[in-house]
Amino acid sequence: MTKLQALVEKRKSSFVYLKKTHEGGCYWLNCVQLNRKPDLEAYAAEIPRARTTQLFYLGLSLARLLQSGCGGAAVVRGALQLFEEWEYHFAGNAAQSVRGLMAKVNTQTQGQGVEGGGSASGGGEDNNPVVARLCKFGSEMVYEHLLTPPLPFALDYFEVFFSLCDIICQVYNKLMEEECYSNVHVFEALVKVDAKVKRHVLNVTAKEFTEMSAKIARSELAALR
């Protein structure tokens, strides 16, 4: 419980810090001040549109999972399944082909249909390991939790990232429920979900901010020579 609480607080603090840094005026790692203009706006302009879309769909799907009103264990199961679907959806053709070979073939669709949304089960019972697995109906992949609605408008990277930070913090709040750490299988799934959040969101953004800060620092030092 103590370790989980420390992990949750650490992740929430990290996302609060990232959100605040994106707003501008903060010092990244207490070294370089990142201002909204020109630093962060130039940074956002270089973010591929596809990545902004990926983050938007991730936040949208996580929000749907939270709104289902399910308990912490179901959120963990659902989040693990969601990441499995999200990784598949945005993988390259070769990776999709390999993952598709391991997908379960259903004769009846589940949830809301192909590439839509679904229930908040996430797979796995209390006494069984939580396993995330892709499902196919015919030749098409069925998404249980990933939402991928068409986007008739351009997304603002900052707004997408701000919303994602808030939603992920809410997800981590759910992880503090007793059923998340009292069941070994759910806890193992929780650790996997945390690793995916760290890999796909935290590490990527932190690496880019560190590189941007180093570039700004070198530029400022060069100006003093």
Instruction: Give the per-residue pLDDT at 19.
Output: 96
Instruction: Give the per-residue pLDDT at 18.
Output: 97
Q: Over the Cα atoms of the chain, what is R_g?
A: 19
Determine the Cα–Cα distance for residues 162 and 194; give it in Å rounded to an integer.
19
DSSP letter (8 states) at residue 142: E
How many structural domains are present in the chain? 1
| Amino acid code (one letter) for 170 | Q
Taking a C-beta distance cutoff of 8 angstroms, is the pair 105, 136 a contact?
Answer: yes
Q: What is the pLDDT along the chain (225 residues), one digit of tens a residue?
A: 789 999 999 999 999 999 999 999 999 999 999 999 999 999 999 999 999 999 999 999 999 999 988 899 999 999 999 999 999 999 999 999 998 888 888 766 444 433 443 343 444 456 789 999 999 888 889 999 999 999 999 999 999 999 999 999 999 999 999 999 999 999 999 999 999 999 999 999 999 999 999 999 999 889 887
Give me the phi and psi of 176, to 5 degrees please. -85, -5
Instruction: Give the per-residue pLDDT at 126.
Output: 64
Instruction: Give the per-residue pLDDT at 116.
Output: 40
Bridge-based pairing state of the strands 135-137 and 104-106: parallel
Q: What is the residue range of 216's domain?
A: 2-224
Determine the Cα–Cα distance for residues 111 and 105; give it in Å rounded to an integer.
15
Determine the Cα–Cα distance for residues 32 and 158; give it in Å rounded to an integer.
20
Determine the Cα–Cα distance for residues 39 and 216; give it in Å rounded to an integer.
9
105 beta partners = 136
Which of 82, 54, 87 lies closest to 66 in space, CA to CA?
Answer: 82
Taking a C-beta distance cutoff of 8 angstroms, is the pair 137, 114 a contact?
Answer: yes
